[in-house]
């Protein structure tokens, strides 16, 4: 992982056309749909093991921010998701809320941006006994106006412990309001 990060930073440094950096801030609001898989394995009693699949839908909001170097963007993102679950048994009140911190890298092609990120902390509010998960995200942004953009994003997160495993994935359509300082 560290080797890939060094290669990306080296490629970014070599492809920057000017040394001028601009700070960008981008509030985000979106709606996503996806699924969650929950697996519990009792290592002492296999008859006590179970798994559950549920569909997730709901709102997400947060902000991206960072630096623009030419066409490259390097930054971070904080997102909260207020999702409703259906079709599963593990979530008692049908809520699945997450808080995610992500490191992002993107490249802007005129009116479009292609970006990806490493979700280094995804905290599940309803699953208190599970440590935060990690994952990946990728997206495509269309800049409709100077300070308004639409993104289509896919994210997948996994929290894997000794006896419990949680995986969720989601596709989200997002509206954001980017501006530079």
Neighbour count for residue 155 (Cβ, 10 Å): 25
What pLDDT band is residue 156 in, cutting at 50, 70 and 90? very high
120, part of any domain: yes
Report how many domains make up the chain.
1
Domain of 81 in residue numbering reads as 26-41+50-180
Lowest mean pLDDT among 9-23, 65-79, 149-163: 9-23
| CATH at 97 | 2.40.160.20
Whether residue 127 is contained in a domain is answered as: yes
Q: What pLDDT sits at residue 26?
A: 96
Q: What is the CA radius of gyration of the chain?
A: 18
Is 84 contained in some domain?
A: yes
- Whether the pLDDT of residue 103 is over 90: the answer is yes
Question: 141-154, pLDDT tens digit by residue?
Answer: 999 998 999 999 99
Asked whether residue 16 is assigned to any structural domain, the reply reads no
| Tens digit of each residue's pLDDT (9 = 90 or more) over 36-90 | 898 888 777 777 788 888 889 999 999 999 999 989 999 999 999 999 888 766 6
């Amino acid at each position: 992982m560290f080797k890939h990060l060094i290669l990306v930073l080296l490629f970014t440094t070599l492809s920057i056309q000017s040394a001028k950096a601009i700070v960008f801030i981008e509030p985000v609001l979106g709606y996503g749909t996806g699924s969650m898989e929950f697996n519990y394995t009792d290592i002492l009693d296999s008859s006590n093991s179970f798994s559950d699949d549920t569909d997730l839908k709901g709102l997400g909001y947060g902000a991206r921010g960072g630096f623009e170097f030419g066409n490259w963007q390097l930054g971070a993102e904080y997102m909260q998701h207020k999702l409703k679950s259906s079709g599963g048994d593990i979530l008692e009140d049908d809520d699945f809320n997450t808080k995610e911190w992500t490191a992002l890298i993107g490249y802007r092609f005129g009116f479009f941006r292609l970006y990806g990120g490493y979700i280094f902390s995804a905290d599940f509010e309803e699953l208190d006994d599970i440590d935060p998960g990690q994952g990946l995200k990728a997206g495509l942004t269309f800049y409709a106006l100077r300070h308004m953009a639409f993104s289509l994003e896919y994210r997948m997160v996994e929290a894997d412990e000794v006896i419990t495993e949680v995986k969720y994935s989601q596709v989200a359509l997002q509206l954001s309001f980017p501006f530079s300082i």
